[in-house]
Chain A
Amino acid sequence: MNKEALKNLLYRMADDSLIIAHRNSEWTGLGPILEEDIAFSSIAQDKLGHALALYSLLHELGEADPDIIAFTRNEKQFFCAQLVEYPIGEYDFSLVRHFLFDTAEKIRYELLQQSSYEPLAKLAKKVSSEIKYHTFHAETWIKQLGSNGNEESKARIQSALNDVYPIAFSLFEKTSFEDAIVADGIFVGEETLQLRWVERVTSIVTASGLTLPSADYSVHYGGRNHYHTEYLQPLLDEMTVVFQIDPSAEW
């Protein structure tokens, strides 16, 4: 198995989880209603757990300790998609991002249960059982605020969809390892994932009385190859501020 290709995939997934976890956690204490405050916080904690599990797989493959990987890299060393970097914005933006991101995660982990790398296949099975709660949450609210909502809620979700949908394609940006990843059976590939994602997202959006905008797939590419938005480094500065005070501290 191509070890570098495997590590590249793991880094992309782990960094997505870590950064979206941080963004979701920014709703703690600020959610529009208490239940949403708790939901975004809980999902953040799940994502952080997934990131740790993936960084642990990388550690077993010879990479640094999970805390070192998470807290000592700068933006040029991150593999996350630009979608997860954007600030939380208004609740509609965060909800639509959560819906588009977790729909992709759900399909990715379902497909990864067939991975030729057994530790990843096992983790994927476990993570899949948790993500169903995330997509259940997202879909419920898209429907509630879409076809079951009022003019204002529907207009806001539609407007957020128009903004976020094109950015979401950043999740499926390939790297130079793509062919090796597919050839070795590590993952079936970003193209298959994107096709299934578009299908699933389209069906939920349509059922919610909303429409998808047209999207130029590649406009928001870059993250997988270390070209990030202006928002990532400030996020990392904030996320690591305590760790940086004393990197050798025992937690």
Chain B
Amino acid sequence: MVTNQTTYTVDDIRQMLYQVFDPEIPTISVVDLGVITNISVDDMGAVSVEMTPTFVGCPAIDVMKNGVIEVLQKNGIEHPKVTVSFDTPWDSNRVTEQGKKILKDFGLAPPPKYDLVFELDILHKVSCPFCDSENTVLQTPFGPTLCRSIHYCHNCSQAFEQFKPL
């Protein structure tokens, strides 16, 4: 049985995971992105982290998983159990408030909070991340990565991307 010298709390682990970033948007952490679905520490101090990808085919999830393992090991947790599953599926409401701010600072319109019923309005009514105007138009629901759509702002004449509501 492996025990760790230091026993961490769930909160300690969450703090560590703030240092693991999405490789495609390297300013947002896996915590703020909402891909960490569960953290647990058992009586023996063994650490388990559960994750889920934004999109099923997201190629970044393996990189993020390895990042999680690496940061936990750096903190002395030799054998963390990190699993990826769809038990708690990701949706865009899982992005934290701080995460939305980070996305906007990165130049991406954050996903709007929605009730998970897909209506075209939420794709069309998007605020420009540069000038906050709502005078924008959806150009295509598919962008440079699976999780982004492409829009155009008539106010500041700039194309921009949105982190898609899912």
For the complex, would chain B's binding face be called helix, strand, loop or mixed by DSSP majority?
loop
Say yes or no: is A163 at the interface (Cβ < 8 Å to chain B).
no
* B89, A125: Cβ atoms closer than 8 Å: yes
Query: Which chain A residues lie closer than 8 Å to B86 at the CB level?
Result: 53, 119, 122-123, 125-126
- Binding stretch for chain B, among A5-13, A44-52, A241-249: A44-52
* B142, A122: Cβ atoms closer than 8 Å: no
* A132, B142: Cβ atoms closer than 8 Å: no
* A46, B146: Cβ atoms closer than 8 Å: yes
Query: Which chain B residues lie closer than 8 Å to A231 at the CB level?
Result: none
B residues engaging A (CB < 8 A)? 55-59, 85-87, 89-91, 116, 118, 120, 123, 139-144, 146, 150, 164, 166
* B120, A46: Cβ atoms closer than 8 Å: no
Candidates B56, B89, B91, B141; contact of A137 at CB < 8 Å: B141
Which 3 A-B pairs rank lowest in CB-CB distance, beginning with the nearest? A49-B57, A42-B142, A49-B56
Say yes or no: is A39 at the interface (Cβ < 8 Å to chain B).
yes
A13-62 with Cβ < 8 A to chain B? 35, 38-39, 41-43, 45-50, 52-53
Once bound together, how far apart are the Cα atoms of A201 and B118, in whole Å?
19
Say yes or no: is A130 at the interface (Cβ < 8 Å to chain B).
yes
| Contact-residue bracket for chain A | 20 to 34
* A133, B164: Cβ atoms closer than 8 Å: yes
Min CB gap B62→A, angstroms: 11
Min CB gap B83→A, angstroms: 12
Once bound together, how far apart are the Cα atoms of A126 and B123, in whole Å?
19
For the complex, would chain A's binding face be called helix, strand, loop or mixed by DSSP majority?
helix
Once bound together, how far apart are the Cα atoms of A95 and B139, in whole Å?
18
Say yes or no: is A217 at the interface (Cβ < 8 Å to chain B).
no
Known: A38-B150, A49-B56, A122-B85; 12 extra A-B contacts, CB below 8 A, are A35-B140, A35-B150, A45-B57, A50-B56, A122-B86, A123-B86, A125-B86, A129-B116, A129-B166, A130-B166, A132-B118, A133-B164
Query: Which chain B residues lie closer than 8 Å to A45 at the CB level?
Result: 57, 59, 146
Query: Which chain B residues lie closer than 8 Å to A48 at the CB level?
Result: 57
Once bound together, how far apart are the Cα atoms of A45 and B60, in whole Å?
13
Closest B-chain residue to A119, C-beta based?
Answer: B86
* A129, B141: Cβ atoms closer than 8 Å: no
* B56, A130: Cβ atoms closer than 8 Å: yes
* A39, B55: Cβ atoms closer than 8 Å: no
Closest A-chain residue to B84, C-beta based?
Answer: A56
> A74-95 CB contact bits vs B (8 Å, 1 = yes)?
0000000000000000000000
